[in-house]
Chain A
């Protein structure tokens, strides 16, 4: 069967391109090698909606950052995604660094960032009382924000699905060729054909491009490690605290997350292996040491987890966005490292626009871009909680004690479009298991609910990937 377009990769980029393309009367499918959306870089990043002072003027990073930032609030409202414009501070620790703030400000102004201002250390500390005494000056960027990257990806995919895009999970693209304007895509689950291919394969996007195009790219994964803290101290800072960027990235930040935790990280280390998302002792130590320079009173006993993500760093260090010159119909979204999350809505808008034009696509009359999502039960008033319970008794059953996630919410996340099939999938959709006990309490319950809902045995329920089952047998099976 011939599709109009195949999107490879269901990260924030692929999912948002799918959402934008779903506006048209087209037959679109997304091929994703993992069992769920948001299993790549989109699940392990800082979640910052960058204001845009950091990107080199004239680069695609600068252009899409600024545009994405401006689109984010409205998109998040439409998709019911947690987003807050909390502002960013870049801090300087001495006179020489303070001068570099000026350079950054100039660059930001050139890029079109609004509201940038340099403030002294005292003023910065009035705004952020836990800021280190050693901070002498700071660049204030009021348009900086924080977003929940899981939701931004999931919601986009869900809207795409509701508007007719088909997602094929556990489907890894293994080969790709083009004859007479038709792309033949071989996967672990069989053969697909399409007139357009979108390469949104994250760190693997160079491999796909290089199979087709004579213009070769080279992505070297660059690891970033993080520590996440308990919500109890999510209020340590209200804005995002950056240190001055260096050749190796934006530096270690201290930030609240859109869901109210505190996050510190990332470091920046090139690695050889495109699947190496392990944390290291040295990496975590570096992140902690750096973060302690920015803020006082970092309460280390409140760390609840550590994780790492891989930036898709292309050797020219800019995004590659658009149709490959020598392969008509092959569209790259390649080298999408930071600020890729911020840029995703803008990248998706352009890519979909170009593809629709190429296919002479007609808009759907009944496209609906909104995602219907209940606010979390935990956030409701007592009266609202009771009202929800009157509608559905399953709101009376708490499954995750740390984040107060109810049975009703777990069932909804499994039953809704592109529903959760894995324990991590439930976690990213509902936050069950992402609190201070990290699933110690709720994971047995979630495994049970997933098994019941999916008609499976407990032993078949996995954390994320096929070989990640929790339970290996019944008691005494091994005797």
Chain B
């Protein structure tokens, strides 16, 4: 089979990329999605808070996804559900598997990676103790509760205050379970401020900052956990250990972009994000392979996923139409306080009004300035009341800057105190 564009993953990223590619006149598109429905992780996010940027209204996850699914139907973009991609090659052959076709072997002109991310498991933390039933990653628990209608536990301790952990604290409470506490090893939460207020504070659930779980008790089912305060080096303080009875430990300890396929294809990855290295066209180290959404870097707001993915879809379409703008890119580097940037190279493109750099900071900063340097010239300098690792930041670079500074070789994003 031959296709102009194959999109791997039918979550918000894949859907938005498909719509954008179609808008560029490419209609021979195929979305491959391993679940039996489009929409990705949004299908289990039944809370609201989605769409404030893109649709200027508050939607639930499934409502947000539905807007794109409707669009896909309207544009008659093909999607194969229950179809898992198992291999991508360097020359853009995509191998997938489903119950109707068996093995699908598709030659694409462009591929968009939109596989989302997965949760870090317990093993990655090495929490000592037994290995009983009752230890769930928060997203898995969310699936049980919101999709299957089953309750995974009565008395819950949540480790990790990322957004999924916070959302699940509220969900479990609403479903009748007792959430005893949310422990966070860092001195600050990795989640959105609004989620801390709406999911914990409003329900009187304590958030224990600088606390972690040091042991899991119970041979068959979780019977309790030991919780301890950690010192400045994140090492547990033995004297602060406390036993908390519970039958469930929920882990919300980070998301990892799901790049096994990208790796197989030979796509170069960024060790910090564990997502592909991309240029400002969201093109990876393999020409014709684009990436967007959580597979590229973990986003907190789906609106930005859609925005980013639309760009990936557009550039994938350009690639099919041989409209690539070649030329050496400008390297983007991380200065003080910046953990990573997407993209890591910018190809000045005078068709776009602005170029977006998304990044995350490495700590909590108050009243710092975000600065962008073109070579030695500071082009952007803006004070932010607060910057936290939990919230993705972005700066928009207008095309005039590139026009005015045609000799720029490097762009640096950094935080400054003044």
Binding site for B on A (CB under 8 A): 227-228, 232, 275, 277-281, 283-284, 301, 303-307, 382, 385-386, 389-390, 393-398, 401-402, 404, 436-441, 443-444, 448, 458-459, 462-479
A476 touches B176 (CB 8 A): yes
Instruction: Determine if A397 and B82 form an interchain contact, defined as CB atoms under 8 angstroms apart.
Output: yes
Contact between chains at B126 and A284 (CB < 8 Å): yes
Are B118 and A441 neighbours in the complex by a CB distance under 8 Å?
yes
Q: How far is the CB of A437 from chain B (nearest CB, A)?
A: 5
**Bound CA span A401–B132, Å:** 23
The CA-CA distance from A479 to B177 in the complex, in Å, is 8
Instruction: Specify the chain A residue showing the minimal Cβ separation from B122.
Output: A438
Decide: A382 and B123 in contact? CB cutoff 8 A.
no
Most buried by B among A284, A305, A398, A443: A398
Chain B residues whose C-beta falls within 8 Å of the C-beta of A278 in the assembled complex: 128-130, 215
B165-203: CB near A (< 8 Å → 1, else 0) gives 000000000011100000000000000000000000000
Most buried by B among A227, A232, A436, A439: A436
Is there an interface contact between B84 and A304, defined as CB atoms closer than 8 Å?
no
> Looking across the interface, which residue of chain B has its beta carbon closest to that of A396?
B99
B149 touches A279 (CB 8 A): no
B418 within 8 A of A: no
Are A304 and B247 in contact, with the CB atoms below 8 A? no
Give, as a whole number of angstroms, the nearest-CB distance from B191 to chain A: 19
CB-CB under 8 A from B84, the residues of chain A are: 398, 401
User: For window 214-265 of chain B, which residues contact chain A by CB distance below 8 Å?
Assistant: 214-215, 219-221, 247, 260, 263
Chain B residues contacting A390 (CB-CB under 8 Å) are 102
Quote the shortest CB–CB distance from A266 to chain B (angstroms): 15
Please name all residues of chain A whose beta carbon is closer than 8 Å to the beta carbon of B214 when the two chains form the complex: 281
Contacts A393-B102, A470-B134, A476-B151 known; 5 new A-B pairs at CB < 8 A: A284-B126, A303-B124, A307-B131, A439-B140, A459-B150
- The residues of A that contact B77 with a CB separation of less than 8 Å are none
Interface membership of B97, Cβ < 8 A: yes
CB–CB A479/B121 < 8 A: no
Instruction: Enumerate B61-80 residues with CB–CB distance to A below 8 Å.
Output: none
Does any Cβ of A come within 8 Å of B334's Cβ? Answer: no
Residues of A within 8 A of B105 (CB): 382
Contact A440 B220 (CB under 8 A): no
Contact A467 B220 (CB under 8 A): yes
Interface SS majority for chain B: mixed
Chain B neighbourhood of A389, CB < 8 A: 97, 102-103
Known A-B contacts A382-B103, A389-B102, A475-B149; A304 and B123 likewise in contact (beta carbons under 8 Å) = yes
A440 touches B97 (CB 8 A): no
Query: Shortest CB–CB separation between residue B18 and chain A, in angstroms?
Result: 22
Residues of A within 8 A of B98 (CB): 396-397
B154–A478 CB distance below 8 A: yes
Closest A residue to B131 using CB positions: A307
Does the CB pair B140–A474 fall under 8 Å?
no
Given contacts A281-B214, A382-B95, contact A437 B121 (CB under 8 A): yes
> Does B86 contact A398, Cβ atoms closer than 8 Å?
yes
Q: Which residues of A contact B95 (CB under 8 A)?
A: 382
Q: How far is the CA of A277 from the CA of B218 in the complex (A)?
A: 11
Report if B137 contacts A (CB, 8 A): yes
- Cross-chain contact B150 with A473 (CB below 8 angstroms): yes
Ranked nearest first, the 5 interchain pairs of A and B with the lowest CB-CB distance are A478-B176, A389-B102, A305-B123, A396-B99, A438-B121
B148 and A444 contacting across the interface, CB-CB below 8 Å: yes
- Give Cα A464–Cα B130 distance, bound, in whole angstroms: 13
Minimum CB–CB distance for B200 against chain A, Å: 20
Q: Is the Cβ of B133 less than 8 Å from the Cβ of A462?
A: yes
Bound-state Cα–Cα, A471 to B132, Å: 13
Partner of B133 from A395, A437, A470 at Cβ < 8 Å: A470
> Looking across the interface, which residue of chain A has its beta carbon closest to that of B121?
A438
Residues of chain A within 8 A of B176, CB atoms compared: 475-479
Q: Are B123 and A303 in contact, CB atoms less than 8 angstroms apart?
A: yes
B267 to chain A, nearest CB (A): 14
Give the CA-CA distance A181 to B119 in the complex, in Å.
59
Considering the chains assembled together, what is the distance between the CA atoms of A471 and B150 in angstroms?
6
- Of all chain A residues, which has the CB nearest B145? A475
Inside 8 A of B134's CB, which chain A residues have their CB? 470
B: contact size bracket:
35 or more
How far apart are the CA atoms of A320 and B115 in the complex, in Å? 55
Write out the residue numbers on chain B whose beta carbons fall within 8 Å of the beta carbon of A459: 150
B144 at the interface (CB under 8 A from A): yes
9 A-B pairs whose Cβ atoms sit less than 8 Å apart in the complex:
A232-B263, A278-B215, A304-B123, A396-B98, A472-B152, A474-B150, A475-B175, A477-B151, A478-B177
Cα-based distance from A394 to B151 in the complex (angstroms):
29
Contact of A472 among B140, B143, B151 (CB under 8 A): B151
Contact flags (1/0) for B136-160 with A, using CB distance below 8 Å? 1101100111001111111000000
- Complex Cα–Cα for A284 and B105 (A): 44
Which of B119, B121, B149, B152 is in CB contact (< 8 Å) with A470? B152
In the complex, whether B352 has a CB less than 8 A from a CB of chain A is no
The docked-state distance in angstroms from the alpha carbon of A249 to that of B153 is: 41
B101: interface (CB < 8 Å):
yes
Which residue of A is nearest B123, CB measured?
Answer: A305
Annotate B99-117 by CB proximity to A: 1 below 8 A, 0 otherwise: 1111101000000000000
Is B314 close to A, CB under 8 A? no
Contact partner of A471 (CB less than 8 A), chosen from B123, B128, B152, B177, is B152
B102 engages A469 (CB within 8 Å): no
A303:B126 contact, CB within 8 angstroms: yes
Tell me if B121 and A436 are in contact (CB < 8 A): yes
Which A residue sits closest to B86, measured CB to CB? A404
Roughly how many angstroms separate A345 CA and B138 CA in the complex, as a whole number? 43
Chain A residues positioned under 8 Å from B151 (CB to CB): 471-478
- Residues of B close to A448: CB separation below 8 A: 148
Question: A463 CA to B97 CA in the complex, in Å?
Answer: 29
> Which residues from chain A contact B136 at a C-beta distance below 8 Å?
470
Pick the contact of A393 from B99, B128, B133, B177 — CB < 8 Å? B99
Assess whether B128 is in contact with A284, with CB atoms less than 8 Å apart: yes
Tell me whether B34 is interfacial, beta carbon within 8 Å: yes
- Indicate if the CB atoms of B99 and A228 lie closer than 8 Å: no
Q: Can you list, as one digit per residue, whether each of B30-41 has a CB less than 8 Å from chain A (1) or not (0)?
A: 000010000000
B121 touching A440 by the CB < 8 A rule? yes
Q: How far is the CA of A458 from the CA of B145 in the complex (A)?
A: 13
- Complex Cα distance, B214 from A471, in Å, reads 24
Alpha-carbon distance between A195 and B155 when the two chains are bound, in angstroms = 50
Q: Hey, which chain A residues are within 8 Å of B260, CB to CB?
A: 402
The answer to whether A281 touches B150 (Cβ under 8 A) is no
Docked Cα-Cα span, A198 to B140, in Å, equals 43
A400: min CB distance to chain B, Å = 11
CA distance A406 to B214 in the complex (A): 36
Q: Name the A residues within 8 Å of B34 (CB-CB).
A: 398, 401
Closest to A386 in B: B103
A385 near B97 with CB under 8 A, answer yes
Q: Which residues of A contact B139 (CB under 8 A)?
A: 440
Residue of B123, B143, B219, B221 near A228 (CB, 8 A) is: B123
Set of chain A residues within 8 Å of B123, measured between Cβ atoms: 228, 303-306, 438
Nearest CB of A to B253, in Å: 12
Complex-state Cα separation, A464 to B134, whole angstroms: 12
Contacts of B149 in A (CB 8 A): 474-475
Nearest CB of chain B from residue A232's CB, rounded to whole Å? 8
